[in-house]
Structure 1
Amino acid sequence: MVRRYVVAPRGRWGGYRDITSALRAAAAGRGPARVEIEPGQYAERLVVRGEVELAALGAPGSVVLNPAQGTVLDAAGSVMVRGLQLIGREGDAVDLHAGALVLDEVTVRGHGGVCLHARRDTSATLANSHFLYGRTVFAGGTGTVERCRFTDAADNALAVIEGGRVTVRAGRFEGSRIHGVRVSDARAELTGCELTGTGRAAVSADTRAELSVTDCVISAVHAEGVLFVGQSRGLVRGCRVSDAEHGVAVTTGSDPVVRDSVFAGCRDTGINVAEEGLGTYQNCEVRDAGTIAVFATGGGAPTVDGCRVVGGNVGIAVVDKARGRFSRIEVTDVTNTALRVYEGARAVFERVRVERCAAGLETLGDAGTTAELTDGRFRDCAMGAVAAGGQSRLMLKDVSAEHGKVGLCVVEEAQLRLYDCEVTAATMGILTAGGSRLFARNVTAGGCDVGLCGTDSAYLDVADSRFADCVDSGMAVLGSSTGRLADCRVTGSRGTAVQHNGRVELIALDTPLRVVEQAPEPAASPSPSVVHHHGPVFHAAVHNAQFAWDNTHVSQQQSTQDGAAT
């Protein structure tokens, strides 16, 4: 049987003038107790033990506990609070030492820094409540938070630490100076929450934390939408992050799964994997990223499947010894490069579709910079579809490029290997320049001004390939380039089949068009050498020269056609 106690400051018959008196009577009576409190201001600090319910008789918030200092509610046992407003001036506004606590339709103002402190082995259930200014801490405790609001926390709005376990549903977090939710060496699940205006990451997992974020909306945050650091794990699913510095960031060995989420208008990156971060990213969309949509750097190693990038500056960038696998990728309308592999990074791409970007795929760096692309389609890349530079190594299989200035390009000392690739309607189909190397099998170029061009000191090994309807030349090998063109076919009604410098081997060429061989440019003749002893010694013919020796003064005159001296 629950005993009922009424607090009536104005002297209601049978009531208690203050809450402390009612609690004292309830403790003496033993057993479950319900303390009902009439509306008003109470400057009391409550110590509640046992099985006790505190309930406001008026509307939620009509009963205000506002002591001058100290903890407002010190609870142990099985305590339920309904409809009260608790204002803490210092320390913990609510301190749960042991047992279980329920707060329902409660407002807690933590001016002293902490709204609620649930200690180890305690359990707190928070429902339909509002927490302002202070943080809510589960330090080794467990809890359920439903339909609660957290506003203007001077620290983290909700912290789950030291092995705590908390489930949050339909919460709203706004204006936290640090994180909306921080999970450290603990576990937390967020479902259907809104987070906005945080000073740092809206949701943060660190120190081997386990974090699940499902169907949440994150907006207008100063740093990351969701952050995983310190070997944390977890799941981000069905979320939308907008106007964050980074949509989701993963570092230092963390390995989450991010699925079915949208990152829109992020000021720097949508997905950021750095400092040996890992993670699997499935069926995500990044729109209008300020710098890079998907960024792997500093040894990061993401696995990305089913990613769509729309707008922004750069689509996917793998740099600084990062590595990654990317499949089912779509990149459209970025103003810079769709795919970028730089500075010792390694990347594998499969089933890539790129449209209306300034450039398609670029590799640049030392010999440790490598990329592979299988099943790629590039269309309307204004500058070029694929380019390999530096000493990087790039391999393409079943790749097509349509429109643009250059289809496939390798320059400097880079290496490009092509298998079953096609270029259509580009100004230059395939370009090999500098000291680069090209190895190509079963390549097709059609409707280009020049199908294949090697220049400078490039090396070309091209076989079983076809060049059709090229305006100027099917294949051109210029400068001091060398190599072999074997079993190739050139068709069309204009231009030449091959223009070459005589340093390339033509094997089994099939063409109705002309082959033009240009003699190699002669090596520059040596300048005549002149050795001065007491007079010059000539080793080659010298004309129109004037010499003087053993003179301290020389006067030179030259006659013009009319005899005048100059």
Structure 2
Amino acid sequence: MAARYVVAPRGGRRAHPDITSALRAAAARGRPALIEIAPGRYEEALTVRGDVQLVAAEGPGSVVVDLPRSTVLDTAGSVRVHGLTLIGREADVVACHAGTLTLDHTEIWAHSGVAVHARPHSTVSLRDSMVAHGRALFAGAAGLVERCRFTDAADNAIAVIEGARVSVRGSRIEGSRIHGLRVSDAHAEVVDCELTGTGRAALTADARARLVVADCVITAVHGEGIMFTEQSRGSVDRTRVTGARHGIGAASGADPVVRDCVLDDCHDTGINVQTDARGRFEDCQVLGSGNIAVFATKGGAPEVHGGRISGGNVGIAVTESSRGRFTGIAVEDLTNTALRVFDDSGATFEHIRVDRCQSGLEARGNGGTTAEITDTVFRDCEIAAVAIGGQSRVTLRNVTAEHGILGFGVSDEAQLRVTDSVVTAVSGAGAGALGSGRLIARNLTVNGSGALGVYGTGSAYLDIARSEFTDCAHAGASFEAEAGGQLVDCTVNGTRGVAVVGNGRVETVGLRTSLKVLRHAEKPAGPPQQIINIFNGPVFNEPVRDIQVAWGNENVTQNQQRTEGDGSRS
């Protein structure tokens, strides 16, 4: 049983006038001690050794220990503190050198410096306590923080370094000038916590640290909600980040696993993976991102499986020599492009559904810029389901495009391969190639185009085989300028328009149609010629013929020439 000591500055039977004298008496006896402290303000530096309990006799907040420019509580042994308020400046307010320290219903005010310092090989627990202005520093120590509040830290609210292992549960961290929690070359677990108003990342891991986060809420952060860097690892589960600059970031070789999280209203990006980082993201929702929902750049290589991207600007962007694999994602209601692959990057998209975005997929860059899209649906894209340029190379397999202006388009020196894909009810064309682009299609089906099934212009090359074009208002296939290639074993059905408008450079083999085939010299009666330059994709205002299309230009011009009823120009 612990020996009982009473501290009462106004005196009393067998009472000690201050805490220090009670500690000396306890140390002299060498037994476990319970020191009960009467209400008051004590200007003391407490050095506690052995098995000691310090208790505010009349409950939390009734005892204040305040000593500027000195450590207020210095412990080694097995020490428990209940209900005290500890105030310090310019030094560690609480320091545990060895053994265990438990702070329960305690307030710690650190107007500068460290609030709690757990040194190597010690164990410090904080329960139902409050830390203001300073930080809790665990250096090579073990720690547990439960149901605590950290407010207005001048640095990081909690720092876990040098191999320390700390668990933070059910706590709130607010207003930290730098991070809410930083773990560096150590292990930290953060569960069921709320973090808000931090100057930089609310939670950050670096120097090969491990950070485990679950069931947390992070709001109003000036940097990342959660950041992994420098080969750090860990996991994030069932966590919501709202109003951060970036929701969850990974950089410099980090590789987290993120599951069932919501990243809402992030000012720049929801998921940001860069500088050779990786990461696996499962069943996450990215809502209303200001710039890009999922961003891989500068060698980043994420895998994203399941989940939803809704609202905001760009959906998924893979740029600057990055790679990514994306499966089972719904992308909807964006003001810009759903999927973007630029600048020597590569991406694989499988089982993607895109609804009501300005464009579906854009690819642009050198020959190392590649994308594979499989089992994907683009619906109600305002401009184009797929539009690629530069020297990029894109493969589509079992892809469906519905509504919008253009199904699949290729320009510049890019190459687009299309297999087992369907375009329905576009207003302009099912598929097209211009510039020096190459379009290779097998088993392509275009239904109900408002103008053309497939077209080629400029010096493009088209290799179309075993494909079907049905009910295209103007022509199943149209070839202009220097476009070349072949149309093999294809079918043009319907009662409107013509089957093929040729230019003498595209070989037609095994064509099945009941509609008219026009040779290069023949011109069908109908709407006037239009030359269209646009920024993101072709715009057709009515059924057209003899079209010339370019996108990505800075200048916009439109020329129109009238035709007589026999098709000759007036």
The TM-score with structure 1 as length reference comes to 0.91
Find the aligned partners of 2:59 and 2:82 in 1 and give their Cα distance.
10
Q: Which secondary structure state, in structure 1, belongs to the residue aligned with residue 312 of structure 2?
A: coil
* Equivalent-residue separation in structure 2 for 1:199 and 1:491 (angstroms): 63
Specify which of 500, 515, 521 is matched with residue 513 of structure 1.
515
Query: What is the match of residue 476 of structure 1?
Result: 478
Q: Distance in 1 between matches of 2:223 and 2:318?
A: 21
Q: Deviations over 1:291-331 (max 9, x none)?
A: 00000000000011003100000000000000010000110
Partner Cα separation in structure 2 for residue 35 and residue 494 of structure 1: 97
Alignment deviations for residues 50-97 of structure 1 (CA, whole Å, 9 cap, x no partner): 000000011201100011330000100000000000001121000101
Runs of 5+ unmatched residues, structure 2: 524-570
Shift of residue 348, structure 1, vs aligned partner? 0.5
Paired residues for 1:217-236 under 5 Å: 217-236=217-236
Residue 213 of structure 2 contacts residue 235 of structure 2 at CA under 8 Å; is this kept in 1? yes
Q: Cα deviation per residue 1:226-245 (whole Å; 9 max; x = unaligned)?
A: 00000000000000000000
Could you tell me how far apart the structure 1 residues matched to 2:496 and 2:36 are? 98
- The amino acid that maps onto 2:345 is A
Amino acid corresponding to residue 494 of structure 1 in structure 2: R
Q: Deviations over 1:154-210 (max 9, x none)?
A: 000000000000011101000000000000000010100000000000000000000
Rounded Cα–Cα distance in structure 1 between residues aligned with 2:367 and 2:521: 34
The answer for the alignment partner of 1:364 in structure 2 is: 364
Amino acid at match of 1:186: A
Write the distance in 2 (CA, Å) between the matches of 1:197 and 1:113. 20
Query: How many residues are aligned here?
Result: 521
Shift of residue 262, structure 1, vs aligned partner? 0.3
Rg: which structure is higher? 1
Letter in 1 for 2:187: R
**Deviation per residue, 1:539-566 (Å, 9 max, x gap):** xxxxxxxxxxxxxxxxxxxxxxxxxxxx
Q: Any idea what SS the aligned residue of 1:79 has?
A: strand
Whether 2:118 is the aligned partner of 1:137: answer: no
RMSD over aligned Cα atoms: 0.9
* Equivalent AA in structure 1 for residue 445 of structure 2: T
Same amino acid, percent of matched pairs: 57
Give the counterpart letter for 1:340 in structure 2: R
Q: Which residue of 2 aligns with 1:447?
A: 448
1:412/1:520 Cα in 2 relative to 1: closer, same or farther (>3 Å)? Answer: farther
Following the alignment from structure 1 to structure 2, what is the Cα–Cα distance between the partners of residues 152 and 168?
18
* Cα deviation, residue 520, structure 1: 9.9
On the 8 A contact 1:93/1:112 being kept in 2, the answer is: no
Q: Is the 8 A contact 1:64 1:87 kept in 2?
A: yes
Greater mean alpha carbon deviation, residues 58-67 or residues 242-251: 58-67
Secondary structure, aligned partner of 1:27: helix
Task: Specify the alignment match of 2:556 in structure 1.
Answer: none
Hey, what's the Cα distance between the residues in 2 that align with 1:141 and 1:269?
A: 35
- Deviations for 1:431-478, whole angstroms, at most 9, x for unmatched residues? 111100011000000100100001111100000000000100000011
Q: How does 1:112-191 map to 2 (within 5 A)?
A: 112-191=112-191
Q: Match for residue 272 of structure 2?
A: 272
Distance 1:493 1:21 in 2: 105
Determine if the alignment matches structure 1 residue 239 to structure 2 residue 239.
Answer: yes
Do residues 431 (structure 1) and 429 (structure 2) align? no
Amino acid at match of 1:393: R
Q: Conserved in 1, the CA contact under 8 Å of 2:112 and 2:154?
A: no
Query: What secondary structure does 1:31 align onto?
Result: coil
Are the counterparts in 2 of residues 160 and 182 from structure 1 also a CA contact under 8 Å?
yes
Q: Please name the residue that 1:52 is paired with.
A: 52
> What does 1:158-557 correspond to in 2, within 5 Å?
158-426=158-426, 427-448=428-449, 449-519=451-521
Whether the 8 Å contact between 1:268 and 1:291 is mirrored in structure 2 is yes
Displacement of 1:518: 1.6
> What residue identity is the alignment partner of 1:510?
R
CA distance in 2, matches of 1:67, 1:460: 83
Distance between the aligned counterparts of 2:287 and 2:485, measured in 1? 44
* Contact kept? 1:502, 1:520, Cα under 8 Å: no
Q: CA deviation at 1:519?
A: 3.2
Counterpart CA distance in 1 for 2:377 and 2:112 is 59
For 2:15 and 2:331, the matched residues in 1 are separated by 71
Give the Cα separation in 1 of the matches to 2:444 and 2:256: 40
Amino acid at match of 1:435: S
Does the Cα contact within 8 Å between 2:432 and 2:439 map onto a contact in 1? no
Find the aligned partners of 2:61 and 2:397 in 1 and give their Cα distance: 68
Say which SS state the counterpart of residue 15 (structure 2) adopts. Answer: coil
Letter in 2 for 1:50: G
Residue in 2 that maps onto 1:94: 94
- Return the letter of the residue paired with 1:206: D
Q: Secondary structure at the match of 2:213?
A: strand
How far apart, CA to CA, are the structure 2 residues paired with 1:335 and 1:65?
58
